[in-house]
Amino acid sequence: MSKTYPFDPSIKHHLLIALGLFVWIFVFLYFTEPLDVNEFNYIEKLTYLPLYGFIGAMIYIAVLPFQILMFKKNNAIWKRSNEIFVLALFVIISIFGLRLFYLQFIVEWHPNAYTFWYHLKSIIFPAMLTILPIIVIGRFAFGKYKEKKLEEQKIEIQGEGNYESLRLQLNELICIRSSDNYIEVFYLNGTHLKKTLIRNKLSVIDESFPELLRTHRSFIINPFHFQTWKTEKGKHFLALAYDIEVPVSKTYLENVKTQFYSATD
């Protein structure tokens, strides 16, 4: 339950799932004609069945704000328990939404309408068994595609040893410090600051990743995490995320100033 689950936070992609849900519900009901649907004439089918699809799509969309809140609360980490909660919430809202639609528009509160338990057991639950796989497959497919794209965007900081390397998103990297024959890589793992020691030279990393910025003979930073300048007793420093401060030597001062001044112009 606590393991991570493939997840795509893109609202656009979830709207595509909602659209697919709308089409699937209409097509399924039109051709299978379960129970009350087979009592509709042609005009009623074209009137009510799209509404069933529309309700299913809108219920899925209504769940998305809860999904966004959970994703932010968990610091952009999505777990199996979160996925199960979203699917369960969709099912619960669907049960009452479909029941209300049936009573209000299909039978107009007729006294001989299906009882709640019969409606739930014979119509709504079977419908859920056909709808949920579409949602699960759609969400999983978009999630795996998102993971693949993120993996392709990762950079790899390699060491001189055969098994020394670190793969991470560029914006997860904060800075790199030289330490004798090693480099110390400061990076984010979720919201936690991590440090990894890799056997390599800072000059090699500087040449390999031009998007990083050399500030000192012992430091390279990721400009993405720059916060503010600091000057103390004629010495210059850059304040980065997570209260990390790196020195700026005279050798690199003008280049660093140019980098940040041009970015703010």
CATH of residue 244's domain is 2.40.50.1020
Q: How far is residue 142 CA from its own chain's centroid?
A: 10
Q: Specify whether the CB–CB gap between 24 and 156 falls below 8 A.
A: no
Per-position pLDDT tens, the chain of length 265: 778 999 999 999 999 999 999 999 888 877 776 656 566 677 877 887 898 899 999 999 999 999 999 999 988 889 999 999 999 999 999 999 989 988 998 888 988 888 999 989 888 898 899 899 999 999 999 999 999 999 999 999 998 876 788 999 999 999 999 988 899 999 998 778 999 999 999 999 999 999 999 999 999 999 999 999 999 888 999 999 999 999 999 999 999 988 887 654 4
Bridge partners, 226 (sequence order): 240
Distances (CA, A) of 212 to 3, 224, 263: 33, 9, 14
46 and 72 fall within a common domain: yes
In a domain, 3, yes or no: no
Nearest CA to 182 out of 194, 167, 164, 155 is that of 164
**84 and 142 co-located in one domain:** yes
Quickly tell me which residue has 């904060």 as its tokens.
174
Please tell me whether residues 63 and 129 are part of one structural domain.
yes
147 and 33, same structural domain? yes
46 found inside a domain:
yes
Task: Name 204's Cβ contacts closer than 8 Å, sequence gap at least 6.
Answer: none
Q: For residue 226, give the 3-state DSSP assignment.
A: strand
- Tally the domains of the chain: 2
The whole model's pTM is what?
0.77
The answer on 143 and 164 residing in a single domain is no
**Co-location of 54 and 132 in the same domain:** yes
Domain that includes residue 236, residue range? 157-264
Residues 140, 223: one domain? Answer: no
pLDDT on residue 265: 47
Q: From 144, 192, 188, 143, select the one nearest 169 (Cα to Cα).
A: 188
**148 and 17 within one domain:** yes
The domain boundary, picked from 135, 153, 171, lies at 153
